[in-house]
Structure 1
Amino acid sequence: MGLKEEFEEHAEKAKTLPESTSNENRLVLYGLYKQATVGNVDTSRPGMFNMRDRAKWDAWKAIEGKSKDQAMNDYIAKVKQLLAA
């Protein structure tokens, strides 16, 4: 199985994470997913009254510069870690 297929499989598995998964971990996954699928942040930071989207944007921005392959590998490892917890 190639990296892209494994990444897509774990993206589906991430949808089954328990409700108790912390927002911090969900933001890490979001940032890694966006970096793996889109690349570096390509939008401006949301306004301060849009806290949810701002937090997601910040999580993505925090890993800017990471290669798509590395982001996919990190995403897979994080999903595995959260499912094992």
Structure 2
Amino acid sequence: MGLKEEFEEYAEKAKTLPENTTNESKLILYGLYKQANIGPVNTSRPGMFNPRDRAKWDAWKAVEGKSKDEAMSDYITKVKQLLEEAGLSA
């Protein structure tokens, strides 16, 4: 299985993470997902009256230097870690 296929598999598994997954973890996954699929941030930062989108933008910006393959690999690792912490099989 190639990296892209494994990444897509774990993107589906990420949808099964428990509701009590921290926002911090969700933001890390969001940033890595965007970096893996789109690459560097390509939009301007949302204003302070939109804190949810601003946090997501910041999470994406935080991983901007990673290659798409690196972001996919880190995403897979993070999903595996979160599934194990939740007692679910990776």
Q: TM exceeds 0.5? A: yes
Seq. identity, %: 80
CA distance in 2, matches of 1:64, 1:2: 23
Q: Which residue pairs with 1:36 in the alignment? A: 36
Whole-angstrom distance in 2 between the partners of 1:10 and 1:35:
15
Per-residue deviation, 1:5: 0.2
Which residue does 1:17 correspond to in 2? Answer: 17
Match of 1:74 in 2: 74
Gaps in structure 2 of 5+ consecutive residues: 86-90
- How big is the shift at 1:38? 0.2
Shift of 1:65: 1.4
Deviation at 1:55, TM superposition (A): 0.1
Question: What residue ranges of structure 1 are gaps of 5+ in the alignment?
Answer: none
Aligned residue in 2 for 1:4: 4
3-state DSSP class of the match of 2:48? coil
